[in-house]
Structure 1
Amino acid sequence: MEHADGAGENPKMGPLEVGNGERRAWHRLTDAEKAALTACGYVRTWQPGEILAMQGSPPSSMFVIQQGWVKITATNYRGDNAPLAARGPAEIVGELSPISGLPRTATIQAIDEVRALVIPRDRLRAVLRQKPRISEELLRTAAIRLQQSDRLRLESGGPDFPQRLAAVLLELALQYDPDWEAASEVVLYETQEDLASFARVSRSTLIRGMDELKKLGVVQTARHRVTIIRPDILRDLAAGRPAH
C-alpha cells in the first residue's frame, strides 16, 4: 500500500475530470492560486482501497483530488466505523488538520483509482501566508460541507423510512455532484452498509427500501454503486408526496 507522504515524481497538476462549478473548491481559485499550490506539491496515485490518510495520523498534507473518488470515514470511541462523505475530482480534502495542527479526525480511502495533488503541511502554510484568499476558499469549503453534514444528519432522523431514504439519497447526490440541480443522473459510489449507516437502518431494511425505489424506476444498483435516474420522483418521495 502506498503512503500519502512519500516522494512524488510528477510536480504538475493534470486536467481535472469533471465539473467547473463554483461549489468545487479547486475551481474557485484563481490561476495564480492554483499555480502556487501546484508548485509546492506533487502528484500521487492510489489504487482502490488504499489509504490516503488515516484517522489519528499526523496532519502532514492536504489533497486536491484530480481523478477518481475517495471515501471519508471515522471511527468513534466504541470502534464503530461510519461513512461521512465521498469526494471526487476538483475537491480539496484533508485540509483542516494541516491548518489546525491536530491529528486527523477521519480516514481518507480511495474508492477507485485516485490521482491527487499532495501538498505538504509546511509548504501549504507558506502558500496560505502568501495568498490569504486561498484560506478564505478553504473556509468556504468547510462551511459548505458542514451545511451538507447538518442536512444529512437532519434527513436521516425522519420517522418515515421511505421518505428518509429518498432524502438521504438526495443529500448524498449533492455531495457527489455539488452543482447537481435538475433532472440529470448522478452516480453514488456507496456500499449497502454505508447507505444503511447514513439512513440509520439495518442492511436488510435498506435493501427492502432500495428494492422499492428500483420498482419505481428511481434508481439502478450495481456493486458499490447506486445511480439516481429519476431525481424528480426521488424529490417527491423525500417531500412526502406520492410518486408520479
Structure 2
Amino acid sequence: MGSRSLCRPARRRFSLSGLEVSSHNEKLQDTIPGSRRRAILFGERPAGETPSLHTRLAWVQAAPFFRGLSLGQCAEIATTGREKTIPSGHHLFRQGDSASFVFIIASGLIKITQLTESGKEVILRVKGSGELVGGAELLTGRTHRSSAETIEPCQLLVWEASTFKAYWTQFPVLLDNAVNILDQRLRLLEECFRDLATERVPQRVARTLLRLLERSGSPTHKGPIYLSCEELAQMTGTTLFTISRLLCQWAEWGILQPESKAIIVDNLPALINVAKGTEGLCDQAHTATDDTSTRMREVTSVGDSRPSAAFRDIVA
C-alpha cells in the first residue's frame, strides 16, 4: 500500500458509560494490563499512552462484524488496529492486489469498483460507517477481485491481514457475523436487480440516494453525498445525460442541490415520495403551467406519514 493510502491518524477521545463497563469489567481484567484498563474504564491515560485507544474501542464495538463480542474481546482487537484518516479519492487497494490489510469504516464512504476488459470502471456498491472492507479475501486466500476507493474523507481502523485472520478462529462468532453480512449484501443485490428490471429511472436514482444517505450516517439525512453524476449513473444503470437532466429538474423543485462532486438533499419527504413511485406527481408538475410553488406543493405532499418511518421502509 502506497504512502498516499495511509496518513497520520486522527485522534478523538471516547469514554465508556458506567453501565457498559460494569457489565463487562470482570472479563476486561483478563485481557489487558491495568494501566490500559484504567484508561478504557475511567478515561485516564498513563504517560506515553495516546487517546486513540478509546476511539478504536468505540469503533470496534459499533461495527456489526464484531457484534456479540465482550468488552474485553473488543479491547483486545482494538489494541491491534491502527487509526487512520484517508482523504477523498485514495485507493485502499486495487483489483488484483494481494490482501494485505483489512479495514473497518468509522466514518465516510468507500466505493467498491471493478474494471471491465475494456477498462471501464463499474461501481459494485458503496460502503459506509461500521462496514468491513477487504475481509472476504481472507477466507479465500485470493487477491482482491475489486478496488476500494474513498469518495469522501474517511476515518478507518486498519489491521494487518495476518493479525485479522487469526481472529476468525479465535472468536467463532465472527464467522456467524460474516454470514449475516453476506446475506444482507445478497439481499441488497437482489433489490438492486429488481429495481433495475422493474423501476423507472427516477425511482432507481431516488432509492440509490436514500441508501447512500443511510450509509453516510448523516443525522439529518441531508448528506452531503460525495458522488459525481457519472458515478450515480453507473450505480443506477442509466446515462450521464439522464442523471444530469433529472438532478437539475429536482433542484428546480427544491428536492436537492447537485454540486460538482456532491449532492445535498433539501427535501427528504419529496425524495421518499419519488422512491415509493409517486413521481408521477412530479411529471404532472413539470408539464403543468402552474408556477414553481404550486409544483412544489404537488411534489412534496406526503399526507400524514412520518418521513422518518418512510425513510426506514425504503432503505430497509
Same fold (TM over 0.5): yes
Confirm or deny: 8 A CA contact 1:148 1:171 kept in the other structure. no
User: Alignment RMSD, CA only?
Assistant: 3.3
Aligned partner of 2:262 in structure 1 is 225
* Structure ID, larger Rg: 2
Aligned residue number for residue 71 of structure 1: 111
Q: Which stretch of structure 1 is more off in the superposition, 217-226 or 40-49? A: 40-49
Question: Deviations along 1:110-131, whole A, 9 cap, x unmatched?
Answer: 2233332211222112112111
Count of aligned pairs: 238
| Aligned residue runs from structure 1 range 9-24, under 5 A | 12-13=52-53, 15=55, 24=63
Q: In 1, distance between residues paired with 2:61 and 2:157?
A: 19
Matches within 5 A, 1:77-226: 77-158=117-198, 160-177=200-217, 184-226=221-263
Aligned sequence identity (%): 21
CA contact (8 A) 2:108 2:216 kept: no
- Which AA in structure 2 matches 1:187? P
Q: Tell me: higher relative CO, structure 1 or 2? Use CA pairs within 8 A at least 6 residues apart.
A: 1
More strand by share: 1
Q: CA deviation at 1:197?
A: 1.0
Give the direction of change, closer, same or farther, for the CA distance of 1:11–1:122 in structure 2 (3 Å limit): farther
Structure 2 gaps of 5+ residues are: 10-49, 282-298, 302-316
Q: Is the 8 A contact 1:55 1:107 kept in 2?
A: yes
Residues 151 and 227, structure 2, Cα contact 8 Å, conserved in 1:
no
Q: Which runs of 4+ in 1 moved over 4 A?
A: 3-6, 10-14, 18-22
Determine if contact 1:152/1:171 at 8 Å carries over to the other structure.
no
Distance 1:89 1:159 in 2: 28
Structure 1: segments with no counterpart, 5+ residues: none
Distance 1:95-1:109 versus aligned 2 partners, 3 A rule: same
Distance 1:102 1:143, change over 3 A: same
Q: Deviations over 1:135-174 (max 9, x none)?
A: 2223222222232233223223345322332233233334
Q: Structure 1 residues 192, 91: closer, same or farther in 2, change over 3 A?
A: same
Pairwise CA distance, 1:3: 6.4
Post-superposition offset of 1:37: 2.1
**Does the 8 A contact of 1:189 with 1:224 survive in 2?**
yes
CA distance in 2, matches of 1:27, 1:122: 17
User: Which piece of structure 1 moves more, 226-235 or 199-208?
Assistant: 226-235
Question: Would you say the 8 A contact 2:94–2:144 is kept in 1?
Answer: yes
Distance 2:233 2:104 in 1: 28
Letter in 2 for 1:2: S
Task: Find the aligned partners of 2:165 and 2:200 in 1 and give their Cα distance.
Answer: 46
Change in Cα spacing, 1:47 to 1:165, as seen in structure 2 (3 Å) is closer
Cα drift, residue 107 of structure 1: 0.9
